[in-house]
Amino acid sequence: IAGITQAPTSQILAAGRRMTLRCTQDMRHNAMYWYRQDLGLGLRLIHYSNTAGTTGKGEVPDGYSVSRANTDDFPLTLASAVPSQTSVYFCASSGTDSGANVLTFGAGSRLTVL
């Protein structure tokens, strides 16, 4: 593993089903984030975690939950998927580059809810 790994890469899901998107990083970054990206909109923060054991709500948290049991893993769960959750989901973690708190992103998970 180098950087951030997300799984699955893509998934088609029936409405009402439960789904967990996995995210693992090997950079020992304290902070991790889940974003969704929709056409014509900026990245929107769903949930974040500043350190293992803590989580916080972002801009669009409804319908999603997260956990942060350890530094490396930050799964995102959709308890009962709805079509409006069709999106590309990016997991990210942050470290420091030239004094800036820079995000490193995973490759993304494309989710389609029918």
Partner 1 sequence: GQNIDQPTEMTATEGAIVQINCTYQTSGFNGLFWYQQHAGEAPTFLSYNVLDGLEEKGRFSSFLSRSKGYSYLLLKELQMKDSASYLCAVGDSNYQLIWGAGTKLIIKP
Minimum separation from the CB atom of position 51 to partner 1 (A): 14
Interface map 85-114 toward partner 1 (x if CB under 8 A): -----x------xxxxxxxxxxxx------
Q: Decide if residue 41 touches partner 1 (CB under 8 A).
A: yes
3-state secondary structure the chain: CCCEEEECCEEEECCCCCEEEEEEECCCCCEEEEEEECCCCCCEEEEEECCCCCCEECCCCCCEEECCCCCCECCEEECCCCHHHCEEEEEEEEEEECCEEEEEECCCEEEEEC
Stretches 16-24, 36-44, 64-72, 77-85: which one binds partner 1 (CB under 8 A)? 36-44
Q: Decide if residue 43 touches partner 1 (CB under 8 A).
A: yes
Q: Which is nearer to partner 1, 28 or 99 (CB)?
A: 99
Number of residues that bind partner 1 (CB under 8 A): 21
What distance in Å separates the CA atoms of residue 19 and residue 82, rounded to the nearest whole number?
A: 11
Q: Decide if residue 7 touches partner 1 (CB under 8 A).
A: no
Residues of this chain that interact with partner 1 (CB under 8 A) are: 40-45, 48, 58, 90, 97-108
